[in-house]
Structure 1
Amino acid sequence: MNLFDLNENYRKVESLFDDGADVSEQVLKDTLESIGEARDIKLDHIAFLIERNTAKGDFYAKKIKELQLAKKSAENTVNRLNAYMTSAMDDAGLKELQTENHVLKPRNYKASVVIDNTHAIPDQYMVSKLTIAPDKTAIYKALKAGEEVPGVHTKPNRKTVIK
């Protein structure tokens, strides 16, 4: 197999991930095993793919945070503009205003409850929430000690470190 064919095979592997699809473990394994080259070269290429996808994941995580902040900012701007517009119409005593592009009608909606001081609220208005979840740390320790815990098992977690 020549260098061009090898590069083309790895481009096919990369393209499996590029469309955002979640590739099954078996499809990935079959695709990688179909590439006929020395193990060290194949594993080196796989390490490159891992690094590339780790970097993409980090980029997406950063982008998500930026977009969430931009969304919150846009929502806050909409709320401030709407409050100003409603106040201006209320001050003018307008029940409705028709402009060239819009019909504006201030409306009363259900009032919002604003909590100023949680500690000052009487107990009768407080709600207690109880969350029940498995204690994975205790379960792990019990399983490692040889105990059987119904409904759970351990799964090996092996990975290769890339330096």
Structure 2
Amino acid sequence: MNLYEINKSILNCVTIESGENVDMETGEIISAEQLNELKMERAEKIKNIALWVKNLTADATALDNEIKTLTARKKAAKNKIDSLKDWLEFNLKEGEKISEPQYAISWRASERVKVTNVKELPEEFLKYSEPTPDKTGIKKAIKAGREIKGAELVKSNNLQIK
């Protein structure tokens, strides 16, 4: 999707079919020299790159929305699967086998662990996750005048394209 017309020479510096000018993992421009050496006014270069960033931002947003939609559809499909399997389990006798050309239904033995009381488990069978800092809470506390050991508020400038 292209919301803005981007100069082809800018796109050619960074987008090559083989992906050799852009690290596809990081998005880093491998051939920044080529971009710098383009015979184009600085303002024109900046404009085209800013518009390209806006295009890519719109693409990323559209992809995020599509991921949310597909994730919801996947969850709904899995819930239907579980519900239909529950119906089959309820309506088939345990051990009953049905075999047809299009499907086969049978029972298999399985094992699972049912934890009845976590507090009684030996330490070796417990997993703990690393604590994660509440950066929002820390920021609010520092701004309110509290001194928080192990954290500080750092001022920075972030590029903004609108």
TM range (shorter): 0.5 to 0.7
1:8 aligns with 2:11: no
1:29 aligns with 2:28: no
Q: Which residue does the alignment assign to 1:129?
A: 128
- Structure 1 unaligned segments of length 5 or more: list them: 1-5, 116-120, 145-155
Could you list the per-position Cα deviations for residues 53-100 of structure 1 after superposition, in whole angstroms to 9, with x for gaps in the alignment?
A: 11111111121111111111111111111121222212xx66211223
Q: 4+ runs of 1 displaced by more than 4 Å?
A: 111-115, 125-128, 132-140
- Kindly tell me the number of residue pairs found equivalent between the two proteins: 139
Aligned counterparts of 2:59 and 2:51: Cα–Cα separation in 1: 12
Contact 1:95–1:105 at 8 Å: present in 2 too? yes
Could you list the per-position Cα deviations for residues 123-145 of structure 1 after superposition, in whole angstroms to 9, with x for gaps in the alignment?
A: 32595735256898755539x7x
Could you list the per-position Cα deviations for residues 1-20 of structure 1 after superposition, in whole angstroms to 9, with x for gaps in the alignment?
A: xxxxx933123246359x79
1:83 aligns with 2:86: yes
- Structure 2 unaligned segments of length 5 or more: list them: 1-5, 139-148
Structure with greater helix share of residues? 1
State the structure with bigger RCO (CA 8 A, min sep 6), 1 or 2: 2
Q: 1:102 to 1:161 in 2, by over 3 A?
A: closer
Q: TM-score, length-normalised on structure 2?
A: 0.63
Letter in 2 for 1:51: K
Superposed counterparts of 1:73-112, under 5 Å: 73-90=76-93, 95-110=96-111
RMSD of the alignment, in Å? 4.0
Could you list the per-position Cα deviations for residues 90-116 of structure 1 after superposition, in whole angstroms to 9, with x for gaps in the alignment?
A: 2xx66211223222112343357499x
Contact 1:89–1:95 at 8 Å: present in 2 too? yes
Letter in 2 for 1:141: E
Q: 1:47 to 1:71 in 2, by over 3 A?
A: same
